[in-house]
A and B are shown apart, each in its own frame.
Chain A
Amino acid sequence: MQKLLLLGDEAIAQGALDGGMSGIYAYPGTPSTEITEYVQKNKYAKENNIHSDWSANEKTAMESALGMSYAGKRAMVCMKHVGLNVAADAFMNSAITGVNGGLVITVADDPSMHSSQNEQDSRFYAKFAMIPVLEPSNQQEAYEMAYTAFELSEKFNVPVMIRITTRLAHSRSGVTVNSQKAENKMVLPEDRQQFVLLPSIAKVQYRKLINVQPKLEEASEKSKYNKYIDSENKKLGVIACGLGYNYLLENFEESEIPFPVVKVSQYPIPRKFVEKIITECDEILVLEDGYPVVEDDLRGFMHNKKIKGRLSGAIPRDGELNPNIVAKAVGLADTYGTDSPNSLKGRPPQMCKGCGHIDVYEALNEVVAEIGEGRVFSDIGCYTLGALAPFKAINTCVDMGASITMAKGAADAGLIPAIAMIGDSTFTHSGMTGLLDAVMENTPITVIISDNSTTGMTGGQKSHAENRIFDICKGLGVHPDHLRTVVPLKKNHEEMVAIMKEEFAYNGLSVIVPVRECVQTASQKARAKVATKKL
């Protein structure tokens, strides 16, 4: 049994591979991207044809994983927390269909929004879908959970969620691995109607889901991931979920923890443990890395006063947990170095030197200055950084694909022209359907698809849009006279300005596609070429 130095993400990938997974489906999203990348680079996965190509978006990924489960094999789908919003339709209904081969949904949440629009907590979704959650407190646990999650899924015929947060996803530690399990053989569902959600069948399936809940609770109570650690002092009891338990251990290092603790790493919440600690202790502190999901449950509508946490002010309402927050909350002395001096300035992220998006923004700003600001609807990608100085070029960024559809809605309201700025990978993720809406009504918007032929912000993964943007736009019905292209370079600035002026003035739908490879992926390819030449 050898130890590997793995990120939390990688531990999950390795656990899933060792646990007999036949396919992983995902769209890049920080902090989940590295799970799928690990499988893509893994020797065993390559030799055994484990599926690991990127999907167009989290919905198609979720559905494909469900399809693999239908065929009897073990599948995992990975995403960041907001990706679950995109996958939600398939996700919710996969709990109603149940599974055939084990199905695991790994969601990486981002408390403190290090790289996201919000810090939504995926445990809510699992509760909503009525499925179990495994929430590791360290990298070894993450490995073990991924290793055994498929079996848990098959045992109770429900999909299982693994929920992690940024600090575990992107931190490395030594992990001991287990022996390789075989993949399942392909076998169709015994009940051929299981996956047909006509109301008459869905009602039966839903009752099965309701009836399995007590068994899921029992599994939580017996789970090796949940613990009751007793103590004589009953003034305070702590319920520590996921990383919360990790930070609690940080503060009590070698000495024993001087109050009872319930470690929660498998949901539904282990009922008997929680009943015991609430009954026996004067005050309860709930530590969770995300929304106050458990705290809210326990506090209830009648505001049980002895339950403390984010809602009571015992710990900050928003943002991630950390060891200092936990120390203060349990009455230990806080530790702090010194304040940074005034010479320290913020250093926000920027678009790279030579990035094509910069050339697009320089032309766009020039034209928008003439026709009036406030009309640029943008999207999620490196180009979102155009919101910051010195460009300040965009006015919205809400969710994947919203640039086109929000521009359409604003134009419908009378804001004409409205301009959408979207990247190529975001376009194939969820921009195409919005563009179709605009085609159907010939809405007077201009959609700029800034094509750097990659999924850039997440590290340069392959984009579905490569060499396809024009054909897709033509296929959707964009008029060829108003489907323009240009290479975004300084020397083409006047040309870009002219094209934008023309198409903004046109009283119908137009699409402009600036095309230039991302400077990062271009230089990575060049370096790889040099390296292979040397061999």
Chain B
Amino acid sequence: MKKNIILAGVGGQGILSIAATIGMAAISGNINIKQSEVHGMSQRGGDVQSHLRLSDKPIASDVIPKGKADIIISVEPMEALRYLPYLSKDGWLITNSKPYNNIADYPEVEELMADIKKIKNHIIIDAEEIAKSIKSRRSSNIVMLGAASPFLDLSMELLEEGLKQIFGRKGEEVVNVNIEALRLGRKFTEENM
């Protein structure tokens, strides 16, 4: 098994929780993992990304080569487009639909959606809406992870185990609401593929 995953968003949107969950799932499943992140300047409301690589063989590069990402998971629609040079021909683009507009020249949402739809394999999901429906706005990240889960080659058991490890110390209720968020995200993708 081999998966190259790019996580994208804006500094402060919490893509690293998604990375941590996948990371824990991989460790639990004895899968090799490399996860790179961005520190320093980019955190201040700038674009941020994380490269996550899973494999049953040893992994060399920490960064994913251009053209070799299997999936881009983005919590922000404009950020989804930033890493297209990395996405492989049949790669999947999973993006949240809600814009984070903190720049003067943010494009029209219609233009963004049109550009996203040009990618052969894409899923556009309103993660906030789904998170709101289970009264857990903060879990919109995990909804995104759920939406991407059919393409990750990781079982739901492993991902849920990952959630237990990450959120366990916050109590059973928090773990359970995140597991629900994960399942609802996956359901959305399965119904809209």
Contact call A172/B35, Cβ cutoff below 8 A? yes
Give the chain B neighbours of A338 by CB distance below 8 A. 84-85, 87
Give the chain B neighbours of A168 by CB distance below 8 A. 62
Chain B positions 43-88 with a Cβ under 8 Å from a chain A Cβ: 43-47, 51, 57, 59-63, 65-69, 78-79, 81-88
How many chain B residues have a CB neighbour from A under 8 Å? 55
> How far apart are the CA atoms of A457 and B193 in the complex, in Å?
42
Stretch from A213-221, A242-250, A290-298 forming part of the interface with B: A242-250
Contact call B40/A352, Cβ cutoff below 8 A? no
Contact call A173/B33, Cβ cutoff below 8 A? yes
Give the chain A neighbours of B27 by CB distance below 8 A. 3, 5, 174
Contact call B45/A352, Cβ cutoff below 8 A? yes
Shortest distance in angstroms between B176's beta carbon and chain A's nearest beta carbon? 18
Contacting B107 at CB < 8 Å: which of A170, A246, A343? A343
A31 sits at the interface (CB 8 A): yes
Look across to chain B and name the residue whose beta carbon is closest to the beta carbon of A7: B37
B103 sits at the interface (CB 8 A): yes
Look across to chain A and name the residue whose beta carbon is closest to the beta carbon of B115: A341
A348 sits at the interface (CB 8 A): yes
B156 sits at the interface (CB 8 A): no
> How far apart are the CA atoms of A327 and B65 in the complex, in Å?
10
Contact call B36/A172, Cβ cutoff below 8 A? yes
Contact call B45/A349, Cβ cutoff below 8 A? yes
Contact call A250/B65, Cβ cutoff below 8 A? yes
B127 sits at the interface (CB 8 A): no
> How far apart are the CA atoms of A5 and B47 in the complex, in Å?
25
Contact call A341/B81, Cβ cutoff below 8 A? yes
Chain B positions 92-146 with a Cβ under 8 Å from a chain A Cβ: 102-108, 111-112, 115, 118
A115 sits at the interface (CB 8 A): yes
> How far apart are the CA atoms of A233 and B90 in the complex, in Å?
35
Give the chain B neighbours of A352 by CB distance below 8 A. 44-45
Give the chain B neighbours of A343 by CB distance below 8 A. 78, 81, 107-108, 111-112, 115
B17 sits at the interface (CB 8 A): no
Contact call B44/A382, Cβ cutoff below 8 A? yes
Look across to chain B and name the residue whose beta carbon is closest to the beta carbon of A345: B105
Known contacts A5-B23, A324-B65; is-contact A115 B40 (Cβ 8 Å): yes
Give the chain A neighbours of B36 by CB distance below 8 A. 167, 170-172
Shortest distance in angstroms between B41's beta carbon and chain A's nearest beta carbon? 5
Contact call A337/B66, Cβ cutoff below 8 A? yes
Look across to chain A and name the residue whose beta carbon is closest to the beta carbon of B111: A343
Look across to chain A and name the residue whose beta carbon is closest to the beta carbon of B59: A173
Look across to chain A and name the residue whose beta carbon is closest to the beta carbon of B34: A173
Contact call A31/B39, Cβ cutoff below 8 A? yes
> How far apart are the CA atoms of A41 and B81 in the complex, in Å?
37
> How far apart are the CA atoms of A115 and B42 in the complex, in Å?
8
Give the chain B neighbours of A247 by CB distance below 8 A. 60-61
Shortest distance in angstroms between A503's beta carbon and chain B's nearest beta carbon? 29
Shortest distance in angstroms between B114's beta carbon and chain A's nearest beta carbon? 8
> How far apart are the CA atoms of A194 and B67 in the complex, in Å?
56
21 contacts between A and B (CB under 8 A): A5-B23, A30-B41, A31-B39, A114-B42, A115-B41, A167-B62, A172-B23, A172-B35, A173-B32, A174-B27, A247-B61, A324-B65, A335-B67, A338-B85, A341-B84, A341-B115, A344-B82, A346-B103, A350-B44, A350-B45, A390-B104
Residues of A within 8 A of B (CB): 3, 5, 30-31, 33-34, 114-115, 138, 167-168, 170-174, 246-247, 249-250, 253-254, 322-324, 327, 334-341, 343-352, 382, 385, 389-390, 457-459
Residues of B within 8 A of A (CB): 10-11, 23, 27, 32-47, 51, 57, 59-63, 65-69, 78-79, 81-89, 91, 102-108, 111-112, 115, 118
